[in-house]
Amino acid sequence: MYDIIIIGAGTAGLSAAIYASRAGKTALVLESKAYGGQIINTPDVENYPGIKNISGFDFATGLYEQAKECGAVVKIQGVLDVKKEASCFVVSTKRNTYEGRSLIIATGASNRPLGLEREKEMIGKGISYCATCDGAFFKGKDVAVIGGGNTALEDAGFLSNYCNKVYIVHRRDAFRGEPSSLERLKAKENVELVLDSVSEKIIGDETVSGLEVKNVKTGEKRILDVSGIFVAIGQVPQNELFKDLVTLDSSGYVVAGEDCRTSMDGVFVAGDCRTKKVRQLTTAASDGAVAALAACEYVDSIF
Ligand code: NAP
């Protein structure tokens, strides 16, 4: 039996693993894909205090290695079921069943789709949710990035380095992303902001050849002749698995305050999958520490 089972090996989960292991507790991290979570695809992290610039991959790899060196066990196994038993939590994957005295949910969130007709079938044919992964396919071409947050701005900056033209389509005229990133983009000749505009239609039969957008203020429609559409409109949590275990809010986030405690004793939540206002790398790492120390306290209290 592990003291703490952590579900998710992103920034929050791995930070929790570091803190739990350093506190002398046995920690198992279960992850369905690869370690790192969302940040692994970010080309440049420039807002993590103490680190001026690092790639998301290097950042995530550092966390992963640190967690393992501290003694945490990390397994790439997707969790299929979580149950509360009398004295522990039972977590099942396809390959095994694990018991934990406490649980930390750190499942993050996944890419939000635009919800356009044919969006799904055009994935890999011009629709992408990851500029770092797919950007190279669009070298010298025109592309659109949808969204107004940090991801959209970073994606646009990355793509502008080798695409012919990058449109940033945002539904408002104010951006959530960092002003410094926006200013850098505005200074680029091959970047055009298409503001107050929503995406309405994907053009193209076999592959994407355009995007129809509508200005929400004027009602005017415009077709952007692009062969790539990079969707960067935020994330949605994937907490279905926990809906009978802990309270979720109407958007599916695990309800918890800054103490990372959920509605169920012994279950804690860290990072982007919990109810919170600011979702940043720093807050994910911070949640990991808070949740791990709370879980340690809980484990000590029951034995
Ligand atoms: P985000 O900050 O939630 O931004 C999502 C953007 O998409 C918003 O501009 C939003 O518009 C727009 N949007 C949402 N739903 C939409 C829809 N259905 N149609 C059109 N537009 C829609 O998401 P994010 O950029 O992925 O960032 C997630 C978190 O990670 C943020 O806290 C961000 O700061 C952080 N992050 C940090 C770094 C870094 O530290 N280097 C890098 C990437 C991300 P509205 O503004 O109108 O709501």
Band of residue 280 on the pLDDT scale cut at 50, 70, 90: confident
87-126 pLDDT, tens digit each: 899 999 999 999 999 999 999 988 899 999 999 999 989 9
Letter string b/e over residues 42-65, b meaning 16 or more CB atoms within 10 A of that residue's CB: beebeebeeeeebbbbebbeebbe
Q: Which atom of ligand 1 is the closest one to the Cα of 152?
A: 25
Q: Over the chain, what is the mean pLDDT?
A: 95
Quick one: what percent of the chain has pLDDT higher than 70?
100
137 contacts 163 by C-beta, under 8 angstroms:
no
Q: Respond yes or no: is residue 133 known to be catalytic.
A: yes
What pLDDT is recorded for position 111? 87
Q: Please confirm, yes or no, whether 130 is among the known catalytic residues.
A: yes
Q: Is the CB of 148 under 6 A from ligand 1?
A: yes
Give alpha helix (H) positions in 105-205: 131-134, 150-160, 179-186
- The pLDDT-based confidence of 238 (bands split at 50, 70, 90) is confident
Helices (H), 91-216: 131-134, 150-160, 179-186
CB 13 within 8 A of CB 288: yes
167-199 confidence digits (pLDDT tens): 999 999 999 999 999 999 999 999 999 999 999
- Cβ(233) to ligand 1 under 6 A? yes
Write out the H or E segment, with its range, that includes residue 15: helix 11-22
43: pLDDT strictly greater than 90: no
Sign (positive or negative) of CA dihedral 131, 164, 199, 172: positive
pLDDT higher than threshold 90 for residue 134: no
Could you tell me which residues are beta bridge partners of residue 243? none
The per-residue pLDDT for 220 is: 98
User: Is 53 close to ligand 1, i.e. is its CB under 6 Å away?
Assistant: no
Q: Which helix (H) or strand (E) holds 56?
A: helix 56-69
Helical (H) or strand (E) element with 65:
helix 56-69
List 44, 58, 81, 133, catalytic entry? 133
Q: What is the pLDDT of residues 46-69, one digit of tens each?
A: 889 999 999 999 999 999 999 999
Most confident of 35-44, 123-132, 281-290: 281-290
pLDDT of residue 124: 85
Contacts of 246 (CB under 8 A, 6+ apart): 105, 254, 255, 262, 263, 264, 267, 269
Ligand 1 pocket test: pick from 58, 168, 176 the residue with the most ligand atoms within 8 Å of its Cβ: 176
Per-residue confidence (pLDDT) for residue 147, from 0 to 100: 98
Domains and CATH numbers, the chain: 2-110+235-302 (3.50.50.60), 127-231 (3.50.50.60)
- Section 83-88 average pLDDT: 94
Q: Is 184 in the pocket of ligand 1 (CB under 6 A)?
A: no
Please tell me the predicted confidence (pLDDT) of residue 67. Answer: 98
CB 103 less than 6 A from any atom of ligand 1: no
Question: Which of the following is catalytic: 3, 88, 134, 163?
Answer: 134
Identity of the residue numbered 73: V
Centre of ligand 1 from the C-alpha of residue 279, in Å: 10
Structure tokens at 123: 């994935």
